[in-house]
Structure 1
Amino acid sequence: MSKPTTAPVGTVRPSQLLWTYGPGALVDLPNLSVVTMGLDLWRESLCEVLDEPRLLAAVRRSLGPQVERLRKPPVAEDDADPFSAEAHQGVPVRPFPRWLRCVRCGLLAEYDSGLFDLDPDPFRPERTSFVHTNCDKGKKSDAVPARFLLACGHGHLDDFPWHWFVHGGPSACRGTLRFFERGASLQTENLWVRCDECESAKSLAHAFGEEGRRALPACRGRHPHLDRYDSDCEARPRAVVLGATNAWFPVTLSALAIPLAEDRLGQFVQDAWEDLKEADDVGELKGVLKTLRKRGRYPVLDEVTPEDVWSAMERERSGAGGAEPDGVTESDMKRPEWTVLTSPSSSSAWPHFLSERVAVPAGFEAFLSEVSLVKRLREVNALLGFSRIDSPEEIRDISAHERIASLTADPPRWVPASEVHGEGVFLRFDERTLRAWEGWSAVGERDERLRRGHRGWRTSRELPPEANYPGVRFAMLHTLSHLLIREFALECGYGAASIRERIYAEDDPSDPMAGILLYTAAPDSDGTLGGLVELGKPENLGRIMIQALRRARICSSDPLCSEHDPGQDRSLHAAACHACNFVAETSCERGNRYLDRALLVPTFECSTAAFFGSL
């Protein structure tokens, strides 16, 4: 699947192509390092269509109306003959970085220089490697990727300029380069590069920090996943180590699949609108419905006729059946979910969503207005692009931001997506209690402390300093969500990294939101096993919330944790750290930002801003 050969070189899970190894990302295999190529080189016919009209509409708002579909990444057959065409189905990759190092003689050169050969293993793709066939110190010595690269904040990635670095700038010398070590440790000051011809040598310690910025050349605007160079990049590149987590950050959108229509037929028309709208009459519609029946995703098709569907489509076109899917914007993703989650009636007839309202735990009646057990849910995620060096703050900032790299050379016609099925617990907070708490002077002081950190963090990244601050309401809900994730993980048996959050926080007086959805999900169609729903029952949830709040009062890093001021170090959290409140970033909506234990319970440093202080 890579050039210059088409040999399989390894495997990753389909979900990893959204969160870890998407287009532009480096996959560090046992013997190789490869870059995942752009969607232009993916075989679209191998990528199954994923239906979720709300998410597709939001993707179009970000990337343009030319986006036709959401598609799942391709999946190769596990038991395919390694010499057959089926064994070569998958995602195209290419060796990157292009520079390799012989582990015996230290030769440093590009993989296509003629000094290295690819040694594929069709039966064990993970053993495919490059070898230095004519090494002076041993026949067929292994060649491994050079562990240093250049990256910039505008999404560009390039090979490390080894000749430039060794010779201190442009040089006519093109002697053979050698990589060697001095000293027992592998710190950068002990890693050296030498030119055999002019005997210039330099330590890799000079490639980092302020000295590295002066020693490295300007960014060439390279996108290796697109085989393209941008000509106008003014960002200063920096050296990064192969495998560094800041080399690729996914930019994603997610949505819960929720019922948006009152009847099953109307919901089916909205869900399958991208397929149905191509039919010009009932005759063509029959063929479309036949194809949809084969997919097996819409049980309602066994109960309706083509004429019924056509009538529902006419109502949809005229506006009588609700808003067009394309009218949904990215900023509105959570509002329909909030409406469904807080609805008194449960949508038990819909295959992807089922909730049941239960009593509020004893003692929490003043804080919570309702609790719902979401026994069935489906979440769909789409990959829009990626960034390097700095993670994108939030989707509203990046829709047209120059620092977000594209997945394709031209505007994309489709984007990768994945779906997960699971269960969860939804908590809705009492609006009157929450508004009274927001009016406390101590809460205002904590709010201003977080706001100062927000301004400093964004200013240091050349972003508008006041934009997109989520507010103290979000910070309180977010902090409680993390405490419950950690506590649920201890009780239900799921790993903390498998429990996710969705925070609904909006202080608009006319239409406020204040709620938390904690859910766990799996990529198979059966979802998860019900352990999280069991913990949402009143007799369990009250005990768990009390345990979580008690643990939050004292952190093992106190008093440093409770006294942390985000305004001083331009961070985005106050009284929070890995010991008490941080969770896996795959679980968190904001990458462990906007957290403060003092908004929930009394701490060493602040005892007057606690929402649950009277509990």
Structure 2
Amino acid sequence: MTRTPVGEIRPSQLLWTYGPGALIDLPNLSVVTMGIDRWERDRCQPIQESRLLANVRSVLGPQVESLRMPPLGDRDVVDPFSAAALVGVPVKPFPRWLRCVKCGLLSPFDAGLFKLKENRYRPELTRFVHEGCRGSNNDQRPKDADAVPARFLMACRAGHLDDFPWHWFVHGGPSGCRGTLRFFESGASLQTENLWVKCDSCGAAKNMAQGFGQAGRDNLPACRGRHPHIDRFVDECVEDPRAILLGATNGWFPVTLSVLAIPQTGSPLAQLIGDGWTFFEDVDSADEVGFVVKTLKKTAQLPGIEKFTSDQIWSAIQVHRNGGGDVEQRDLKEPEWQILTASEPPTDYPHFLSKKVEVPKGFEAVVTRVLLLERLREVNALLGFTRVESPDEGSGDEAAPRAPLGRSVPDWIPATQVHGEGIFIQFDVDALKEWAERDAVKEVDARMHTGHRGWRQKRNLDPAQGHPGPRYAFLHTLAHMLIRELALECGYNAASIRERIYGDVEDGKDQAGFLIYTAAADSDGTLGGLVELGKPENLGRLLRQALDRGHVCASDPLCSEHDPSKDQSLHGAACHACSFVSETSCEKGNRNLDRALVVPTLENAQAAFFQAK
């Protein structure tokens, strides 16, 4: 049986879960991923996607030269002391404070009270121990006891992370007492009210409930501006710190950009030259082209280039130089929308293979196009991260501050690419405009808008921004309902199916559609099951099933009666039983959903786009 080695993660996890600054729980340790300036850049394979690179440069600056995959190690390394065994992403222990599981001793691991027992051949056994521990009852037969990471940390909205200030907390501020601290439990449950910290010297004690909420703001010191992944302190931090738990979701949120690899030129060869321009910009003759193509073919860094001759490639290079090779930064989704809705969408590009099919019977009045994407590629880039608040809880200047990936301004950015397939559905714009003018739809939108304003006001954000409107909520909800149906039959797990909603109506745009696609880093993303279900006879059946299932939710009547204007939430008639999907599948974190805009519900039968027949 194949077993995953301790500390091994997928490249995509370094973008979405365990990127720079994130904490990783190992069996006996907790570590933080170091900044990208500590990564081995030469082992990070470049990813060619000029449109994403242009958008990254618009955010981080023109000095960003490339998008690169995280370094990949060799799973077959036998000698753990060899150089090959050290290939990967560097980490270091964090938090510094450890707790003895036997006597409750609380101390930093570098204070000399705990000892590291390293096991290079069995890394899962590497741990800190409290040597000669006598336990809480002063046992006469001392023996080593495990020391585990302290489960409390301190973070702020600016992305800083620090050890919990145990001495400050126990003594109520700065104190000359440097006595040994003990962590112990009282009571039957592990609620914070029953978790205590006590000083052995002066007897000061405090329970952990006083470190959270308003009491926490009174009992915690100011933020020191610490970034443990780059070993730096920033003295000017003005954000209020708050206590968080080790492993909590709000400890690390990635800030990413994502694009689909779409044709941007008039020919497949010109597209390949543009995507891989870093390989061709120094080529001076047709003779050099052959060597470059041979290298690219061996490394598989630009699939499809081997289909063209050296003379064809050299001519394309000259055309690219004369026409300029820069890709302008603009809206990420609009170019995709233009390609997906083109009268003759491309069918022979290396990363984009599409096929138009008939609209399912019974949906001709509302659906104008169904496009099967038999091959597509999604490229994601990591720009930074936030803590405490997710990056989409603000926008523009009011967004949560983005923490840096390294000590200096980056000249490359971690990125991943995934291959898959998808189904694109375009809706009739006139039908949606007519539907949006109904009084019942305006009433639902008003309630969602009120909830949206209240939600943003609680977070000190501009309440006038960010409301997407009823069209987006309709498309988003229907996409979720269809994803749930597809996951039952297509052969993919639900977390591997993602959505991309095209519902922008601002600045002259009139988008009305969505793309449901797979996003897997291996062959799981190209099984063909999703495209098969996009054929008219299958898609029509699945749409009808999704609509029928949406009429009544297992949580009704509570679900259908939910009013976002009363609890200041971002969804109406939607819950885990009917409309929510995996967080990895949704582009909005299960927000801006309402079944009442799609099908009649027990509470509202008038606002549905699909009326019961």
Q: Does 1:79 align with 2:76?
A: yes
**Contact 2:600-2:612 at 8 Å conserved across structures:** no
Residue type matched to 2:443 in 1? E
Matching residue of 1:462: 460
- How far residue 276 of structure 1 moved from its aligned partner, in angstroms, is 2.2
Q: Does 1:376 align with 2:375?
A: yes
**Cα gap change, 1:395/1:389 in structure 2, threshold over 3 Å: closer, same or farther?**
closer
- How far residue 519 of structure 1 moved from its aligned partner, in angstroms, is 1.0
**Contact 2:105-2:181 at 8 Å conserved across structures:** yes
**Contact 1:251-1:395 at 8 Å conserved across structures:** no
Greater Cα offset, 63-72 or 435-444: 435-444
Number of residue equivalences: 602
Residue type matched to 2:266 in 1? E
Residue type matched to 2:495 in 1? A
In structure 2, C-alpha distance between the alignment counterparts of 1:9 and 1:200, rounded to whole Å: 40
**Contact 2:368-2:426 at 8 Å conserved across structures:** yes
In structure 2, C-alpha distance between the alignment counterparts of 1:15 and 1:544, rounded to whole Å: 30
Matching residue of 1:251: 255
In structure 2, C-alpha distance between the alignment counterparts of 1:402 and 1:450, rounded to whole Å: 23
In structure 2, C-alpha distance between the alignment counterparts of 1:418 and 1:92, rounded to whole Å: 18
- How far residue 289 of structure 1 moved from its aligned partner, in angstroms, is 4.2
Matching residue of 2:561: 563
**Cα gap change, 1:90/1:257 in structure 2, threshold over 3 Å: closer, same or farther?**
same
**Cα gap change, 1:509/1:232 in structure 2, threshold over 3 Å: closer, same or farther?**
closer
In structure 1, C-alpha distance between the alignment counterparts of 2:316 and 2:429, rounded to whole Å: 38
In structure 1, C-alpha distance between the alignment counterparts of 2:354 and 2:472, rounded to whole Å: 24
Alignment of 1:35-434 (within 5 A): 35-80=32-77, 81-137=79-135, 138-279=142-283, 288-298=292-302, 300-319=304-323, 324-329=325-330, 332-393=331-392, 397=396, 401=399, 403-434=401-432
Q: Secondary structure at the match of 2:168?
A: helix
In structure 1, C-alpha distance between the alignment counterparts of 2:66 and 2:575, rounded to whole Å: 40
Q: Secondary structure at the match of 1:134?
A: strand
Matching residue of 1:10: 7
In structure 2, C-alpha distance between the alignment counterparts of 1:305 and 1:544, rounded to whole Å: 45
- How far residue 303 of structure 1 moved from its aligned partner, in angstroms, is 4.7
**Cα gap change, 1:401/1:555 in structure 2, threshold over 3 Å: closer, same or farther?**
closer
TM-score normalised to the size of structure 1?
0.93
**Contact 2:254-2:384 at 8 Å conserved across structures:** yes
Identical positions, percent: 60
- How far residue 569 of structure 1 moved from its aligned partner, in angstroms, is 2.3
Greater Cα offset, 31-40 or 282-291: 282-291
Q: Secondary structure at the match of 2:110?
A: coil
- How far residue 299 of structure 1 moved from its aligned partner, in angstroms, is 5.3
In structure 1, C-alpha distance between the alignment counterparts of 2:425 and 2:263, rounded to whole Å: 20
**Contact 1:253-1:395 at 8 Å conserved across structures:** no
- How far residue 73 of structure 1 moved from its aligned partner, in angstroms, is 0.9
Q: Secondary structure at the match of 1:55?
A: helix
Greater Cα offset, 275-284 or 576-585: 275-284
CA-to-aligned-CA distance 1:215-247 (integer Å, 9 cap, x gap) = 111111111111111222111111111110111
Matching residue of 2:19: 22
CA-to-aligned-CA distance 1:499-541 (integer Å, 9 cap, x gap) = 1000111225954211111111321267321111111111111
Residue type matched to 1:347 in 2? P
Alignment of 1:466-481 (within 5 A): 466-481=464-479
**Cα gap change, 1:548/1:9 in structure 2, threshold over 3 Å: closer, same or farther?**
closer
Q: Secondary structure at the match of 2:473?
A: helix
In structure 1, C-alpha distance between the alignment counterparts of 2:303 and 2:391, rounded to whole Å: 39
- How far residue 486 of structure 1 moved from its aligned partner, in angstroms, is 0.9
**Contact 1:71-1:416 at 8 Å conserved across structures:** yes
Aligned residues: CA RMSD: 2.1
**Contact 1:180-1:191 at 8 Å conserved across structures:** yes
Residue type matched to 2:379 in 1? V
In structure 2, C-alpha distance between the alignment counterparts of 1:434 and 1:40, rounded to whole Å: 49
**Contact 2:394-2:400 at 8 Å conserved across structures:** no
In structure 2, C-alpha distance between the alignment counterparts of 1:216 and 1:297, rounded to whole Å: 51
Q: Gaps (5+ residues) in structure 2? A: 136-141
- How far residue 28 of structure 1 moved from its aligned partner, in angstroms, is 1.0
Q: Gaps (5+ residues) in structure 1? A: 1-7
In structure 1, C-alpha distance between the alignment counterparts of 2:213 and 2:447, rounded to whole Å: 30
- How far residue 291 of structure 1 moved from its aligned partner, in angstroms, is 3.5
Please point out which of 591, 594, 597 is paired with 2:595: 597
In structure 2, C-alpha distance between the alignment counterparts of 1:359 and 1:74, rounded to whole Å: 44
Matching residue of 2:543: 545
In structure 1, C-alpha distance between the alignment counterparts of 2:394 and 2:358, rounded to whole Å: 35
- How far residue 460 of structure 1 moved from its aligned partner, in angstroms, is 2.1
Q: Secondary structure at the match of 1:606?
A: coil
In structure 1, C-alpha distance between the alignment counterparts of 2:485 and 2:327, rounded to whole Å: 39
Greater Cα offset, 437-446 or 579-588: 437-446
- How far residue 464 of structure 1 moved from its aligned partner, in angstroms, is 2.2
**Cα gap change, 1:181/1:131 in structure 2, threshold over 3 Å: closer, same or farther?**
same
Q: Secondary structure at the match of 2:582?
A: coil
Q: Secondary structure at the match of 1:506?
A: coil
In structure 1, C-alpha distance between the alignment counterparts of 2:566 and 2:379, rounded to whole Å: 38
In structure 1, C-alpha distance between the alignment counterparts of 2:301 and 2:230, rounded to whole Å: 35
- How far residue 458 of structure 1 moved from its aligned partner, in angstroms, is 1.9
Q: Secondary structure at the match of 2:313?
A: helix
- How far residue 418 of structure 1 moved from its aligned partner, in angstroms, is 0.9
**Cα gap change, 1:402/1:392 in structure 2, threshold over 3 Å: closer, same or farther?**
closer
- How far residue 475 of structure 1 moved from its aligned partner, in angstroms, is 0.8
In structure 2, C-alpha distance between the alignment counterparts of 1:480 and 1:267, rounded to whole Å: 34
In structure 2, C-alpha distance between the alignment counterparts of 1:391 and 1:129, rounded to whole Å: 32
Matching residue of 1:554: 552
In structure 1, C-alpha distance between the alignment counterparts of 2:524 and 2:280, rounded to whole Å: 27
Q: Secondary structure at the match of 1:522?
A: coil
**Contact 1:9-1:128 at 8 Å conserved across structures:** no
**Cα gap change, 1:300/1:25 in structure 2, threshold over 3 Å: closer, same or farther?**
closer
- How far residue 300 of structure 1 moved from its aligned partner, in angstroms, is 4.8
Matching residue of 2:138: none
Residue type matched to 2:8 in 1? T
- How far residue 203 of structure 1 moved from its aligned partner, in angstroms, is 0.9
Matching residue of 2:516: 518
In structure 1, C-alpha distance between the alignment counterparts of 2:491 and 2:294, rounded to whole Å: 43
Residue type matched to 1:538 in 2? P
Q: Secondary structure at the match of 2:519?
A: strand
Residue type matched to 2:525 in 1? G
**Contact 1:251-1:392 at 8 Å conserved across structures:** yes
In structure 2, C-alpha distance between the alignment counterparts of 1:140 and 1:116, rounded to whole Å: 10
**Contact 2:392-2:399 at 8 Å conserved across structures:** no
Greater Cα offset, 525-534 or 252-261: 525-534
